C-alpha cells in the first residue's frame, strides 16, 4: 500500500493486538522456556511476523497499523514491568476471569515510579513505524492499570500509602512516556484504560468498597490521571483510549453499562478517540454516548466481537449505527472491533482467517456508512 497523507482519527481502526503466528509462539517458547535461541534470533522471527502483520492490516484497507503486540506476553504487564519501580512477580494463583484464571503474574511497586529512557516499547514503536507507509500506532495500558491491578500489599514505598501521592507519580510517569513516544515519532498513541468499564460492574464496585475505596472517587481520579498524563502533548499527537470488560481466551471479567463512568470518560480525560466495547448486552445500552461533547472527539463502538469467529452482518451493523446516531452525531463515530484479538499471547478462540474477515468487515462498514476509512 502506498504512503498516505490522511491523518487519524479514521473511520475504521482496531484496538491493537493480533493472534500470534505459530512461528512467534514457537520462537518465544524456545527463548523464554527452552533457552535454546538468543535474543537476536527471537527478534528476527518477531520482525518478520510483524512485517507480515502490517501487510495484512494495510491490505485490509486500514490506515492505522500496529505490531500486533507480538513482542508481548500481556497487553499490560510487559509495559508496566518496563517502568522504573515496577516488578512482575509470579505466584500461585492468577486473576479470575469468567470460568478461567489468568497466568499468576502480579505487578509490584517496589520503588518510586518513573518512565525510563530505554523502555523497550519505544523500540517496538520505532520498528512498526519503519515497515509501514500508513500511520503506526502503539497501544499501552492506561494510567489506571498501575493502580487497579496492583494490590495494596504489593505497593511498598511508604509515601504511596497515600493514593494521591501514588496517582501523582503515575501521572508524571505517563506524561514522561507520552513525551518519549512523541520524540520517537509517535503521533497516535492509544492507552487501554479498561478499568473505567470495570468500575461500572456492581461486583467490582463492591470489591473496591470492601477494601475501603469509593469506586466513583476512583473513576474521577483515574480520569484526572489520564488528563494530567496527556494534557501537554503537542497538537499533532492524538490519544486513543480503549475500554472493555476483560479479554482472555475469549472470556471476560466484568459487566455493566458505562453510565457510572461516561461523564468522566468523555469530559474529564482529555482523550481524542474512544474504543468502546459494545458487542454484547454486558456493555449495556448506547445512551451514555449522549454525553460525548460536540466537536472533534470520536467514538468507535465495538459492535464487531473478537471473542467468537462468527461474522457480523453489515445490515445489522448499519442498524446499530442508526441507533447510536440517536445519541451521538454520526459524524463523531467510527467502527472498530470490541477488543484486541489476543490481549495475551494465548489469543482468543478464533482463527487467523476469522481475524482477517473481521478486519475486512471493519473497513467495509466504514466504507458503507461514511464513504471511506479516511472520510
Determine the pLDDT at residue 1: 41
Local structure of residue 289 (DSSP, 8 states): G
pLDDT in tens, 22-41: 999 999 999 999 999 999 99
Q: Give dist(CA 349, CA 250) in Å, integer.
A: 6
φ, ψ for residue 339 (rounded to 5)? -160, -175
Q: Give dist(CA 17, CA 66) in Å, integer.
A: 8
Q: Give dist(CA 190, CA 172) in Å, integer.
A: 17
Determine the pLDDT at residue 76: 94
Q: Give dist(CA 315, CA 322) in Å, integer.
A: 11
Q: Return the C-alpha cell found at 221.
A: 481520579
Higher pLDDT, 98 or 192: 192
Non-local (6+) Cβ contacts of 319 within 8 A are none
Q: Are 166 and 155 in contact (CB under 8 A)?
A: yes
Instruction: Reply yes or no on whether the pLDDT at 247 is more than 80.
Output: no
Give the pLDDT band of residue 311 (cuts 50, 70, 90). very high
Residue spans of beta strands (DSSP E) within 167-228? 188-192
Determine the pLDDT at residue 202: 94
Q: Return the C-alpha cell found at 348.
A: 482468543
Determine the pLDDT at residue 102: 53
Instruction: Reply yes or no on whether the pLDDT at 351 is more than 70.
Output: yes
Residue with cell 476509512: 373
Mean pLDDT, the chain, integer: 94
Q: Return the C-alpha cell found at 344.
A: 495475551
Local structure of residue 154 (DSSP, 8 states): G
pLDDT in tens, 51-60: 999 999 999 9
Q: Are 317 and 335 in contact (CB under 8 A)?
A: yes
Instruction: Reply yes or no on whether the pLDDT at 94 is more than 60.
Output: no
pLDDT in tens, 136-188: 999 999 999 999 999 999 999 999 999 999 999 999 999 999 999 999 999 99
Give the burial string for 147-163 (b: 16+ CB within 10 Å, else e).
bbbbeeeebeeeebeee
Residues of the chain with pLDDT > 70, as a percent, come to: 95
Determine the pLDDT at residue 93: 65
Structural domains present in the chain: 22-370 (3.20.20.210)
How large is the average pLDDT for residues 231-259? Answer: 88
Instruction: Reply yes or no on whether the pLDDT at 95 is more than 90.
Output: no
Non-local (6+) Cβ contacts of 183 within 8 A are none
Give the pLDDT band of residue 4 (cuts 50, 70, 90). low
Peptide bond before residue 9 is cis, with ω within 30 degrees of 0: yes
Q: Return the C-alpha cell found at 283.
A: 456493555
Burial (CB count <10 Å: 0-12, 13-18, 19+), residue 52: middle
Q: Which residues pair with 100 in a beta bridge?
A: 97
Non-local (6+) Cβ contacts of 44 within 8 A are none
Residues of the chain with pLDDT > 90, as a percent, come to: 90
Q: Give dist(CA 102, CA 104) in Å, integer.
A: 6
Determine the pLDDT at residue 251: 74
Amino acid at each position: 500500500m502506498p504512503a498516505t497523507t490522511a491523518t487519524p482519527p479514521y473511520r475504521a481502526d482496531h484496538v491493537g493486538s493480533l493472534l500470534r503466528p505459530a512461528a512467534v509462539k514457537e520462537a518465544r517458547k524456545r527463548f523464554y522456556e527452552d533457552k535454546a535461541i538468543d535474543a537476536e534470533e527471537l527478534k528476527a522471527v518477531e520482525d518478520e511476523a510483524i512485517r507480515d502483520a502490517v501487510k495484512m492490516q494495510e491490505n485490509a484497507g486500514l490506515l492505522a497499523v500496529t505490531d500486533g503486540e507480538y513482542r508481548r506476553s500481556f497487553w499490560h504487564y510487559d509495559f508496566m514491568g518496563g517502568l522504573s519501580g515496577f516488578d512482575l512477580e509470579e505466584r500461585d494463583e492468577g486473576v479470575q476471569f469468567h470460568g478461567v484464571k489468568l497466568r499468576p503474574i502480579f505487578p509490584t511497586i517496589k520503588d518510586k515510579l518513573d518512565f525510563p529512557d530505554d523502555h523497550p516499547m519505544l523500540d517496538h514503536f520505532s520498528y512498526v513505524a519503519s515497515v509501514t507507509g500508513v500511520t503506526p500506532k502503539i497501544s499501552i495500558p492506561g494510567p489506571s492499570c498501575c493502580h487497579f491491578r496492583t494490590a495494596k500489599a504489593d505497593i511498598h514505598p511508604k509515601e504511596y500509602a497515600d493514593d494521591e501521592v501514588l496517582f501523582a507519580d503515575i501521572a508524571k510517569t505517563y506524561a514522561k512516556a507520552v513525551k518519549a513516544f512523541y520524540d520517537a515519532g509517535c503521533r497516535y498513541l492509544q492507552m487501554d484504560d479498561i478499568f473505567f468499564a470495570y468500575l461500572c460492574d456492581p461486583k467490582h464496585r463492591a470489591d473496591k468498597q470492601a477494601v475501603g475505596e469509593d469506586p466513583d472517587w476512583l473513576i474521577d481520579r483515574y480520569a484526572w490521571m489520564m488528563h494530567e498524563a496527556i494534557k501537554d502533548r503537542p497538537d499533532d499527537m492524538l490519544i486513543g483510549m480503549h475500554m472493555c470488560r476483560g479479554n482472555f481466551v475469549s472470556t471476560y471479567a466484568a459487566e455493566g453499562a458505562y453510565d457510572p463512568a461516561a461523564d468522566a470518560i468523555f469530559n474529564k480525560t482529555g482523550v481524542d478517540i474512544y474504543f468502546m466495547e459494545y458487542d454484547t448486552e454486558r456493555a449495556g445500552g448506547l445512551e451514555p454516548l449522549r454525553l460525548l461533547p460536540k466537536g472533534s472527539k470520536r467514538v468507535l463502538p465495538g459492535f464487531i466481537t473478537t471473542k467468537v469467529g462468527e461474522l457480523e452482518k453489515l445490515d445489522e451493523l448499519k442498524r446499530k449505527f442508526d441507533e447510536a446516531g440517536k445519541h451521538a452525531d454520526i459524524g463523531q463515530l467510527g467502527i472498530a472491533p470490541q477488543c484486541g484479538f489476543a490481549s495475551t499471547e494465548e489469543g482468543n478462540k478464533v482463527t487467523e482467517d476469522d481475524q482477517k474477515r473481521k478486519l475486512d468487515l471493519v473497513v467495509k462498514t466504514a466504507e458503507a456508512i461514511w464513504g471511506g476509512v479516511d472520510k
